[in-house]
Structure 1
């Protein structure tokens, strides 16, 4: 058998869950403020993945609420299940409640999300259809909204997941279990007469995977730690999902928090011991390689294809930081045309018009050519940014009717620094190179101008990793114009 290598998705796919759909596998991840939301990926072997769709074209519910970047809000950890021939995704918005969307296939179409349970602080939901046809939902709590955490609750819902039909009960109180800190991210299963809740505890970057079981859906539950870092380099390891392959083998998909790279996805072998409890990894430690089958490549691709020649619809790897306007992006003939979106300041953290891809977890080189319309107003900017809690970018700026190549960095909100500005007729070829420590070198070359290279340390964002973003902005009250981007190239090095 040919081994695969972890991580199987070497970029930011937070809080993954997985289900089998026929003989293939379907994965969903949280998206937070990124739009479109809820990326849906498919695989024939659990190792090599590609985009199928997004379950959310935009993030509901309140019209206008996500017109600005709601960092740390939006779509938190979802679950995905196959039920009665359809895919079912249940996801939380911690500020509004728990929602449900379904589709006949991974490619969609996905139904308009339905609000199953309204409220603040309800997170990480997962449904279970019992052997008698009844349905239940397990979920956790966010202290930032509910005022408490470290608890898992269960409520009976109708089998169509349209409404609760009974009171919710807390079935696991982490505060009452010695050493149980921040239990969250539950996944609900039924096997051999037991109710099983798989859930991480101990924190995103430092925790471990716990399994709870009970003969009753309402408890009491006993528990066991089944996966922890040990002597491996895989910190966490955090929440994920169990899936059984057509050949009967069991597997566990989970994430590892890698800071600026976000939450990358790992695949662990899994099985069931003679005592009835599951095992994961290599005696409870995450594996870096493992035999999977001759149908996989010797080393994983690491992520779906990011390429884009700008000749048609954008690659689904792209996402916005907020709900986009209808004409913000046009893509045809090898040119990506971005509207210069008006904004009251040059601050990018509050700017919705950031079109990005997650920062790859491996060293890479990125190049793209940027130009501003001849009639772009003073104060207009367009460029390529590496964007997290801190950010830096290279691009073009219009000043007093002239165009300049600029390099800018910002360590914190409102602390933007223009590090370099050189007169440039445009267009500008910008270049960005990352290394294994998420240090990013930025430089550019344009008509009669060059920006010397400078290094910037990429950082994580709010619950997500850094993004590589294209953007175009102008001051409020100035005439509309556009920027163009051509020759996008991202190469692994």
Structure 2
């Protein structure tokens, strides 16, 4: 799999070749914790841990269930651009739901249970929310706006907030207008250094923008502005929203994402230095104060020993009582969707139908995970007991378009289907590229993803080698996310009783 470590005590970007959009990081002692946007996927708000800012593992999710509206997929809605902070012994995560308002959850242990969500402020279009506790005891919330809901964007606001983070205590005030020089400014994070307030915020758009930093002696401004990171001569477009974080040794770093089509918003790490009271991010060879992203760099100076390569989890043998942390559903999970105990060592998915669903786009019981590398293979072994023509299950690549390799029962036994849908959000029907009869009860399914996101499905029965099936499929990003890969079992006819199941022996991801 993708390895951010180099053998010469350096790292290479991206540090996480997976879709952890809008990353934010906090350090507590020698530990770094990161969270990221999760939109409609559940469990939500992933929590990742690192000791060196380079090697990361998923250790938890802060939200087990979203509001009831997310019982059905709401592509691109939900948990937008969270921020993670540590204050007086408590971890806080704030995020903006563009349709509902500002939410907060907290905990004493990021690996343990997080509190139920608190609605800090009800509003439409408040996004990219981040708290700030000042040295004088006052607390604030900085945020941006989604024009699709609020009718405005390209401005940043700050509101006074209760010190416990549960509610605002006054009106939100505009502190910066980016329309002229920093259009679509968003994703603000508010910091203080040596008595000066800094707002780190990307502008110019996700694909082609830059990092802006604002500074002022007063929290409400006026703020001066400077571009501190841009693509320059590098291959890193964007570079977009992220977090300033330091190490215990006193180094400064900046984590941000890069939008990379079907792979989503992958995570980069940049060195950060200071020059005349301004941060400079990345490599600034011409000394103009605007850095550009580095491809490789010396690793952060941390107290941890040399660590083995760690990346977010992918493969799963289904040999524990809980699903691996890499898995997310497309909507709030419901009782009866799956079992890990009917056949210990296998995942059993029970086919369910979604009322009114015309295709898989509107189905919540899709068990998916992020693309983990530029090129990889995902393999599973499946055995289905289904009613005739009533449903199917298998291996799925999901985005704005999707494709799958699935097993369906027929009057003559079973068949393998390689299908796809090029317009699922419009309600378009699936089409079948190829179908073949199956005799053995167990079949291995594989998706091979080439660099660039081209997918070829293949299958094997018994001891035979894998054979390609269907035509290649170009993976597409989803709504604000990258393509995902995973497993499914669905009932195609709402009038048919949901009998049957599909057992998956494992899910193996390899280079």
- Equivalent of 1:353, from 348, 365, 372? 365
Q: What TM-score do you get using the length of structure 2 for normalisation? A: 0.91
Closer, same or farther: CA 243–196 of 1 in aligned 2, 3 Å? same
- Contact in 1 for aligned 2:399/2:484 (Cα 8 Å): yes
- Equivalent of 1:146, from 147, 150, 162? 150
Give the structure 2 partner of residue 391 of structure 1: 402
- Contact in 1 for aligned 2:251/2:300 (Cα 8 Å): no
Q: Does 1:440 align with 2:455?
A: yes
* Aligned residue pair count: 484
Q: By how many angstroms is 1:415 displaced?
A: 4.2
**In 2, Cα distance between equivalents of 1:155 and 1:401:** 66
Give the structure 1 partner of residue 4 of structure 2: none
**RMSD over equivalenced CA pairs, Å:** 1.8
Give the structure 2 partner of residue 317 of structure 1: 326
Spell out the pairing of 1:2-151 with structure 2 (5 A cutoff).
2-60=9-67, 63=68, 65-151=69-155
- Contact in 1 for aligned 2:314/2:372 (Cα 8 Å): no
- Contact in 1 for aligned 2:18/2:371 (Cα 8 Å): yes
Spell out the pairing of 1:182-221 with structure 2 (5 A cutoff).
182-221=184-223
Q: Does 1:465 align with 2:472?
A: no
3-state SS of paired residue (1:342) = coil
**In 2, Cα distance between equivalents of 1:487 and 1:157:** 48
Alpha-carbon deviations, 1:299-328, whole Å to 9, x = none?
A: 965x32212110112110110111111221
Q: By how many angstroms is 1:428 displaced?
A: 2.0
Q: By how many angstroms is 1:26 displaced?
A: 0.6
**In 2, Cα distance between equivalents of 1:234 and 1:261:** 14
**In 1, Cα distance between equivalents of 2:41 and 2:410:** 31
Give the structure 2 partner of residue 486 of structure 1: 505
Q: What TM-score do you get using the length of structure 1 for normalisation? A: 0.95
- Contact in 1 for aligned 2:388/2:408 (Cα 8 Å): no
Q: By how many angstroms is 1:485 displaced?
A: 0.7
Mark the runs of 5 or more structure 2 residues left unpaired by the alignment: 1-7, 285-290
Mark the runs of 5 or more structure 1 residues left unpaired by the alignment: none
Give the structure 2 partner of residue 419 of structure 1: 433
Alpha-carbon deviations, 1:210-264, whole Å to 9, x = none?
A: 0001111111111000000001111100000001100000000100001100110
Spell out the pairing of 1:212-231 with structure 2 (5 A cutoff).
212-231=214-233
**In 1, Cα distance between equivalents of 2:400 and 2:410:** 27
- Contact in 1 for aligned 2:456/2:468 (Cα 8 Å): no
Q: By how many angstroms is 1:278 displaced?
A: 0.6
Q: Does 1:307 align with 2:323?
A: no
**In 1, Cα distance between equivalents of 2:307 and 2:86:** 30
Closer, same or farther: CA 450–395 of 1 in aligned 2, 3 Å? farther
- Equivalent of 1:378, from 386, 389, 392? 389
- Contact in 2 for aligned 1:121/1:145 (Cα 8 Å): yes
3-state SS of paired residue (2:360) = coil
Q: By how many angstroms is 1:126 displaced?
A: 0.5
Q: By how many angstroms is 1:372 displaced?
A: 1.4
3-state SS of paired residue (1:349) = helix
**In 1, Cα distance between equivalents of 2:453 and 2:163:** 46
**In 2, Cα distance between equivalents of 1:245 and 1:297:** 16
228-237 vs 413-422, which moves further: 413-422
Closer, same or farther: CA 296–228 of 1 in aligned 2, 3 Å? farther
**In 2, Cα distance between equivalents of 1:228 and 1:27:** 23
- Equivalent of 1:265, from 264, 267, 289? 267
Alpha-carbon deviations, 1:97-125, whole Å to 9, x = none?
A: 00110111220210001000101100000
Q: Does 1:368 align with 2:380?
A: yes
**In 2, Cα distance between equivalents of 1:203 and 1:3:** 30
3-state SS of paired residue (1:144) = helix
Give the structure 1 partner of residue 258 of structure 2: 256
**In 1, Cα distance between equivalents of 2:253 and 2:467:** 51
Q: By how many angstroms is 1:453 displaced?
A: 5.1
